[in-house]
Amino acid sequence: MLDGRTTLDLVIGFLGLLMIFAAIWSVLSKRLLSSVLLSGAVSLLASLVFLAVGAPDVAMTEAAIGSALTTMVFLYSLSRMKAEQDAHEDGGAS
Amino acid sequence: MSDVNIVTLIGVALLLVGFYGALSRPNVIKMIVGFAIADTGVNMIIVAVGYLPGRTAPILDSAADAAGAAARMVDPIPQALVLTAIVIGLAVTALMLSFAVRMRRSGGGMAIDSYGEQKW
Amino acid sequence: MVTPLAIFAAFLATGFLLPLADKLGRRVSATLFWALLAGFAGLAAYYLASFVAAPGTLEIYTGGFEPPLVIALRLGLEESAALAAVAAVALLAAFSMRKALHEAPVSGMMTFLMLVMGLSGLVLTRDLFNLFVFLEISGIAGYALLGFDDRRLAMSAAFKYMVAGGIASAAYLVGVIYLYRLTGTLNLDLMIGSAGLEGAAGAAAVFFVLAALLVELKPFPANGWAIDAYEAANPGLGALFSGAQATAMLFALYKVFPLLSDAHLAVVMWAGIVTFAFSNLVGLRQTATRRMFGYSSAGQVGFVAAALAFGARYVEGSDFAWLVAGGLLVNHLLAKTGLFLLSAAFESDGDGSMKGRPGTLVAAAAGVLVAALVGLPPFPAFWAKWDLVRVALATREYAFVALVGAGGLFEAWYLFSWLVRLVKGGADETPEAAPVPVLRVGADGVGPVLAALGIAALGGLSAWTRGFTDPLFWAPLAGGLLFLALDRLPGKLKALLATAAIAAFGYFALPSMSEFQKLFALMILGGGALHAFAGGYLTGRRAGHFPLYVMTVLSLGYALVAESALGFFMAWELMALGGYFLVLQGAKGRSASMIYLAFSIGGAFLMMAGLQLGGGLIGGAAPSPAALALVGLGLLAKLGAFGLHVWLPGAYAEAADDFSSFFSASLSKVAVFALMAALAVFGEALPGGELAWRVVGWVGILGAVLGALAAIFQEDAKYALAFSSMGQMGYVLAALAMRDQMGWTTALYLAATHFLYKGMMWLSVAGASLRTGTRTMYLMGGLIKRMPISFVSFLVGIIALSGVPPLTGFGGKWLLYHSLIAKGWYFEAAASFLASGIAFLYLYRMIHSIFLGQPKDEHRTVKEAPFWLVLPQLLLLVAVIAFSVFPRLILDPIMAVVGARYPAAGFAFEGQTLVSSLGYWNGLLTIVVVVVVFVLTFIWMVMNLRKPRLVKQFNIVFAAERPFRPETTHFAFDFFAPYRRALGFLVRGRSEKAWTAVAGLATSVAGAIRRLYTGNGQTYALHVVLYVGILYLFLGVR
Amino acid sequence: MMKKLLLLAAIALLAFALWPFVRDVGLAEPGELATAYLERGPAELGTANVVTSIVVSYRGFDTLGEVTVLFTATAGVGGLLARRKSGHGKKKAAERGATDASEILKTASRLLSPLLVLFGVYIFLHGHLTPGGGFQGGVVIATAVLIGLLADPEAGLAHGVMHVVEGLSGFAYVALGAVGLWFTGVQAGFLDPRFLPLGELGRLASAGAIPIIYSLVGLKVGAELTGILDAMKEDAE
């Protein structure tokens, strides 16, 4: 049962379950920040799966772009949104 | 079940969860997060097409082992395609977020349905 | 042959360097931008020219190897045509957006260039994943361009657009990767026909790619996001989306067709045609212009996709795709771009409020663009629709044809309403409202005029390639253009020129006419020339009247001599279009013209379907009752038969006085001609057989009775005459329905005489209303002294109409009753007798109110009608008298024509006497008897008069009336009040209510469907996903 | 409630549409196109990393398109968000009560940024030998810059330099493609890297112009992503 082929499936299956769980949690969570971070986690796990599948190029790209940059862009826009909100509350310049 | 591609399953699941998230939560950022997850799901499906257990990455160590390379390696084409897909996904997400910020700045709320003045 | 890769190299190099160039100065980057666009357009034109000269395809491989290893591009005739279209629209749009582009940061211009490059990539690439990349480039460039507009509207619209685009690209990616997995390649040409496509997975993979392309084509109901984008976008951008992007998307869809199974093609076909019909239906309720154009664009693009899929399913060879889908696409492309640019030039921000009215040239261009978009002749969409309906009927896709018709009708309604708002300004019915100032738009007007010229040229080209080279075919258009050029001349000169032009057309057309055609040519072309001359009765220029009038008359003339069904139908629709614009020019012509347009277009579509079913008007088509029924319905609508007459009173009355006369006297006769010709071609069997013809007979008789009854209660002279015409045509229809020698002789005789006397009555009323300045009868009165000739002509007219012995009417009544009784239609005979009686009532009322009685103070110094009106009346008068004295003058040609059709001789001439089985009639004898009796009684009266006292017009004491002021003595207001109380319920306008209910139903359904577009981006995304899922169910993949 | 129902129906329909793929398409040997790439890639182009050979030369047109996508997105994001330069003035970070970057972040960023940039350059220089290439290298450089931004938000980026780098590398990329077109004389070898010697497989200076092209892509992607981050950050805290 544990020849090379199925262990890979097991690993990928486990990572897959983790990813789906993180995705569902991210979708259902109330707080914005946690859903953004969880989507980053999904990308990170995805890059691990890509590594397991034998696609190192894709793994690097997914890790760098998917989890790092996308999350950063999300966080920046979240902060911009809050800044707009404050600007609106205190009758800001905009 | 032996022949079912586990990676495709994960990809499809992520795609469905991503779309569910994008279409159920009214918050604009939540929608974009949903789409980001869906994009990851699609990328997963693309790579899944080239998945074959027991095969190595399509990179040669030296000129010598180029001989039997095709038999030992994974299909490189989906990987090449997914590279482009990931970067395009980022570009689309970044543009969507900047639209979300501008919408927020123009006075709308966080929820999508506060931008419904264009109707019928 | 410059490699098309040069396009991409040039675009990218310039795009990447633009920010640096901008550092040097906005002028530098702007010139770079325009140079590149112009170069691209030049290159596209060069490709098109070289491929037209030497057809073939050029395969280009990137990367130095051969497919499937590398990405391949292809450049052929179709690709270069699409490129030329994209380049043309890009130039026009950029020109319209030039201010916005120059003020925005340089990234605006960069994004514009990338959008154009993305679209050209979509057209050229043969690799499916490369298609995805270009899809994304053009998509993102489109979203970014939308974002350069600071308004919140644009931001949320762009966001909704991106959401839908995101779903489409996800679907596309899934489809492409599985296509690769199943067929082993990404190159489209190698993928075609590969075994991998058969199974469920193959069909699903193709479906996902197809669904993505369909979503990008904005199908109904999943196009809420697209409509918002059109509304929010700068019109130049709107033109880019609806013109260039739609072309590239449609071309990409067309490229993928070989992969599609018939089930896929069916999905595309029905998705497209449903989009066309329902988008236009919802468009009915739109007042915001750009949102309306959005619906129209979505509909038109759906229509082209449906035509493409239809061609792929039913027609071999690609020429169908070229002629029909290509024609429709080019038509939509140019017309929609022109309309968007017009909206940019004339509207503040697209909510329908106009900044000003266009001048005549731009107004003409707007008219051309709207008429082209709706598919009226002679523009490309008209020919394309004709072929599409022919093949659709041949393959028994009746629902498809119905949707095509419905969509076209809805679109015509709201587009023409917009055109009227544009041309006549926002003012509603009140002509007195301050005339909206003419807005000099200068450079902004160039785009629409260019688009109009282009579309007219292409329309002419497609007509020429269909073999219409005979000059008579081009006469109406040439005449219209000639008089448009001469529009600056004074009205009277143009009247003479128009008379000459129509006479010339008659001179050339007459030799090739048969007896039957000659008879109608006399009525139509003769009437046309007469009323052209009468057109000079007004002072001043009468801008816009003569080009339309000449075009209408000449197209009627061509309708008589048309060889093929297509030629006849083209002339028929051109005449309807001309008529619409002429009625629109009337003072209160807005709503009347819209109703007339709706009935004309609806009737014309029925007729087109009938003609197609019957396989062509002339050319020995096999007799088919269904074809006759459809063509018949279309003709009844034009004839104003009872039930379909709702448009008639308004159209006849609200047009300019001289055109009203032509409309009623001559134009309605072409419907009689067409009905007779149709019977000759399609045989006489109607689906219901004899009973159906009896019903048609009753429709005619009912029209006569109720028409006359309605005429009694009219206060407006022109409405009275309009209802009277409807009544008289009812008789003609009943006579036609008899389908025997006696019936048809009556029909032709009644038609000919109606042309004569109704022309006189209309022109004399025109003279009277010109002099008195009003059309309301009770405000006129006592004009007999001031306008004697008009009185005489009106008198002769009513004697001829009523059937009183000496004049032609008597012969008409004689023929009618003889044929009715011989046919055995006794109730019809009784009803028509009643109708004649009622007719006499309104005739007396009209002559009494207008000419007899006491004139008002202000009409004391009224002069006789101008010479331009009097001469035609005198000519008609002479004709009526001539035909009364020598009936054989008119009856011989008629009986010759009818004899050819129905040899059994119910009527026959013995010398001057017409003998039938029931009796005889001698016109000359009747005249002699009447004159002798009149003279004798006159002499007797003179002898017995002892001292005749001349009673002054105002000495009403003699008639034992107490005189108050003159106006009060002239009893004319609500003349037949007692009859109204007795018979008023019959004419409470049930047909009007019925048809307004139908229109109300359409608008309420449109309102209900409109609720679908809630404005919430998430709901739109849900619609897209649901739409893709439901389409998948239709595919039936297990 | 109705919306929830419709949503579940839509997701179910989508799942039903995707089901044939999961059910029918199992695992399979790489097709004959894949084996063609695996055999001819190293031979004809001298690249060890076959994916890079596909991405840069065989399907180089895709990559060119992809770079354009990023370029357009940057222009779009810049146009949308950076417009606020002339906006209500840039408040100093302190006034907006933003927490100042912690000491650790400052020193770490001073240490890490250069290393990261070096690592990024290494990645896209060795694109044809080891996994990774232009995109990954560019992103690593962007993260290096990101860390710098996080540490000291006020350090205005040299916009001019970034634009020049982006513009020139893009232009050079297209120029190299065009050179491939005319130089090799092959029918239309746009983006064909073989105008430089292929060298020996596995060495740095091998695989013709692929390393140069991929480096240019790396520079361009790095500049663009930095541009996006900078535009996003613009006047955030």
The DSSP bridge pattern shows strands C913-915 and C908-910 to be antiparallel
Q: How far is B17 from chain A (nearest CA, A)?
A: 7
Question: What burial letters (b/e) apply to B11-42, b meaning 16+ CB within 10 Å?
Answer: bbbbbbbbbbbbbbbebbbbbbbbbbbbbbbb
Inter-CA distances, C45 with C42, C85, C251, Å: 5, 9, 18
Q: How far is B19 from chain A (nearest CA, A)?
A: 10
C664 touches C723 (CB < 8 A): no
Do A and C have ≥3 inter-chain CB pairs under 8 A?
Answer: no
With respect to residue C768, please indicate whether it lies within any of the assigned structural domains: yes
pLDDT tens for each residue of C25-50: 888 889 999 999 999 999 999 999 99
Q: Say what the pLDDT of residue C966 is.
A: 58
Q: What is the mean pLDDT of chain B?
A: 86
Amino acid at C973: F
With respect to residue C16, please indicate whether it lies within any of the assigned structural domains: no
DSSP string, B88-120: HHHHHHHHHHHHHHHHHHTT--SBGGGG--S--
pLDDT tens for each residue of A6-30: 788 889 999 999 999 999 999 999 9
C528 or C909, higher pLDDT: C528
What is the ipTM score, two decimals?
0.93
If pLDDT is split at 50, 70 and 90, which confidence band does C961 have?
low
With respect to residue C325, please indicate whether it lies within any of the assigned structural domains: yes
d(CA A47, CA A64): 9
What is the DSSP secondary structure assignment for residue C199, as one 8-state letter?
A: S
Among A83-92, B29-38, C87-96, C613-622, whose mean pLDDT is lowest?
C613-622
Q: Judge if C768 and C692 occupy the same domain.
A: yes
Q: How far is D200 from chain A (nearest CA, A)?
A: 22
Surface of D (75-114) touching B: CB under 8 A: 76-77, 80-81
Q: Judge if C586 and C602 occupy the same domain.
A: yes
pLDDT tens for each residue of A22-81: 999 999 999 999 999 999 999 999 999 999 998 899 999 999 998 889 999 999 888 888
If pLDDT is split at 50, 70 and 90, which confidence band does C954 have?
low
C785 touches C863 (CB < 8 A): no
Q: What is the CA radius of gyration of chain C?
A: 32
Q: Judge if C397 and C541 occupy the same domain.
A: no
Among C146-150, C878-882, D223-227, whose mean pLDDT is lowest?
C146-150
Q: Which of A65, A68, A76 sits opposite D232 (nearest CB)?
A: A76
Question: Percentage of chain C with pLDDT > 70?
Answer: 96
What is the DSSP secondary structure assignment for residue B56, as one 8-state letter?
A: B
Q: Judge if C693 and C668 occupy the same domain.
A: no
Stated as kind and residue range, the H or E segment containing C914 is: strand C913-915
The residue-averaged pLDDT of C513-523 equals 88
D65 interfacial to chain C (CB closer than 8 Å):
yes
Q: Judge if C398 and C478 occupy the same domain.
A: no
CB under 8 Å to B11, separation ≥6 — which residues? B41, B42, B43, B44, B45, B46, B47, B48
Q: Judge if C456 and C516 occupy the same domain.
A: no
C958 interfacial to chain D (CB closer than 8 Å):
no
CB under 8 Å to D154, separation ≥6 — which residues? D92, D93
D228 interfacial to chain A (CB closer than 8 Å):
yes
What are the strands of the beta sheet with C908-910, ordered from one edge? C908-910, C913-915, C920-922
Of C628, C663, C686, which closes a domain? Answer: C686
Q: What is the mean pLDDT of chain C?
A: 87
Q: Does the domain at residues B6-52+75-112 carry the CATH identifier 1.10.287.3510? A: yes
The residue-averaged pLDDT of C915-939 equals 85
Closest CA to C634 of C597, C686, C599: C599
Domains of chain D, by residue range, sit at 47-82+103-233
Do D and A have ≥3 inter-chain CB pairs under 8 A?
Answer: yes
The tokens describing B77, both together, are 């084409």
d(CA C145, CA D97): 35
pLDDT at A94 over 50: no
Surface of C (91-130) touching B: CB under 8 A: 129
Of C931, C948, C972, which closes a domain? Answer: C972
Write the Ramachandran bin of C773: left for phi over 0, alpha for psi from -120 to 50, otherwise beta. Answer: left
Question: Percentage of chain C with pLDDT > 90?
Answer: 33
Q: Which of D38, D69, D200 sits opposite B76 (nearest CB)?
A: D38
pLDDT tens for each residue of B74-102: 889 999 999 999 999 999 999 999 999 88
pLDDT at D155 over 90: no
Q: Judge if C680 and C731 occupy the same domain.
A: no
With respect to residue C239, please indicate whether it lies within any of the assigned structural domains: no
Domains of chain B, by residue range, sit at 6-52+75-112
The residue-averaged pLDDT of C655-680 equals 89
Closest CA to C293 of C344, C329, C248: C344
3-state secondary structure C293-311: HHHHHHHHHHHHHHHHHHH
What is the DSSP secondary structure assignment for residue C345, as one 8-state letter?
A: H
Surface of D (121-140) touching A: CB under 8 A: 123, 131-133, 135-136, 139-140
The residue-averaged pLDDT of D18-39 equals 86
d(CA C746, CA B84): 80
pLDDT at D88 over 50: no
Q: Say what the pLDDT of residue C49 is.
A: 93
Structural domain count, chain C:
3
d(CA D139, CA A33): 23
The boundaries of the domain holding residue C381 are 261-428+440-466
pLDDT tens for each residue of C303-353: 999 999 999 988 887 778 778 888 899 999 999 999 988 888 887 765 557
The residue-averaged pLDDT of C239-266 equals 92
Amino acid at D87: G
C662 touches C528 (CB < 8 A): yes
Please, which chains are in contact with A (at least 3 CB pairs closer than 8 A)? B, D
Inter-CA distances, B10 with A49, B7, D13, Å: 10, 5, 18
Q: Say what the pLDDT of residue D85 is.
A: 44
pLDDT at B3 over 80: no
| 8 Å CB contact of D14 and C1028 | yes
**Chain A residue numbers touching B97 (CB-CB < 8 A):** 73-74, 77
Q: Please tell me the pTM assigned to this model.
A: 0.90
| 8 Å CB contact of A43 and B14 | no
The residue of C7, C107, C155, C169 whose CB has the most chain D CBs within 10 angstroms, and thus the best one to mutate to test that interface, is C107
Q: Say what the pLDDT of residue D188 is.
A: 52
pLDDT tens for each residue of C592-621: 888 999 999 999 999 988 888 876 444 455
Surface of D (151-170) touching A: CB under 8 A: none
| Residue C1015: how many other CB atoms lie within 10 Å | 18
Beta bridge partners of B59: D49
**C270 by DSSP, 3-state: which?**
helix
If pLDDT is split at 50, 70 and 90, which confidence band does D83 have?
low
Q: Say what the pLDDT of residue C958 is.
A: 67
If pLDDT is split at 50, 70 and 90, which confidence band does C991 have?
confident
Q: Say what the pLDDT of residue C438 is.
A: 74
| Residue C211: how many other CB atoms lie within 10 Å | 28
pLDDT tens for each residue of C811-830: 888 889 888 888 888 898 99
The residue-averaged pLDDT of C469-485 equals 87
